[in-house]
């Protein structure tokens, strides 16, 4: 879709949606939300950008490939279970600190696990979306004829 309204709106909505996804991630242990919903929200923001500007532009916007996001997320989720093991507790037992960098958000292993889920979910959804776009050859900007192009000549019927 080659819409100036969609492209302009996306330029304003993308940072806002990414910020909302982080808020959803951080409030996940006190209220509904968490890494899964936050990751879906982040991937949805990127989907909006992909629909407005095309998959190649969306890929350039990402700092790393979706596969790397998946790997980082899985690694963070796995590492979040180690501190409990190191002090003799069952794996993935929640360990919290008293440090609150943001009011209402305490640092702890559950937050690290949620950040891992956030990256994993965002990476998987983006990988699926980019794979579909590649398979279908989706390019919303090239799909629209330009205003300067001439209409095709009508075919003459054989008598």
| Residue 82 domain-assigned (yes or no) | yes
* Number of domains comprising the chain: 1
Residues 6+ apart with CB under 8 A from 112: 76, 77, 79, 80
Q: pLDDT at position 159, please?
A: 47
Q: Is residue 156 part of a domain?
A: no
Q: What is the pLDDT of residues 129-153, one digit of tens each?
A: 999 988 866 665 555 544 444 555 5
Let me know if residue 155 belongs to a domain.
no
- CA–CA gap between residue 1 and residue 100 (Å, rounded): 44
Is residue 159 assigned to a domain? no
Query: Looking at residues 52-66, what average pLDDT do you find?
Result: 93
C-alpha 109/C-alpha 38 separation (Å) is 17
């Amino acid at each position: 879709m080659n819409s100036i309204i969609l492209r302009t709106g996306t330029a304003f909505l993308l940072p806002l949606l990414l910020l909302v996804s982080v808020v959803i991630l951080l409030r996940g242990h006190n209220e509904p939300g968490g890494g899964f919903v936050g990751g879906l929200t982040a991937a949805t923001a990127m989907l909006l950008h992909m629909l407005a500007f095309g998959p190649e532009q969306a890929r350039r916007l990402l700092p790393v490939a979706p596969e790397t996001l998946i790997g980082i997320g899985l690694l963070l989720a796995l590492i979040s279970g180690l501190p409990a093991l190191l002090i003799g507790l069952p794996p993935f037992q929640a360990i919290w600190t008293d440090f609150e960098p943001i009011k209402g958000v305490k640092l702890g292993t559950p937050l690290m696990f949620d950040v891992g889920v956030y990256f994993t979910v965002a990476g998987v959804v983006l990988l699926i979306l980019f794979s579909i776009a590649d398979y279908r050859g989706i390019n919303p900007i090239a799909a629209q004829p330009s205003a300067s192009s001439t209409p095709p000549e009508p075919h003459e019927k054989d008598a």
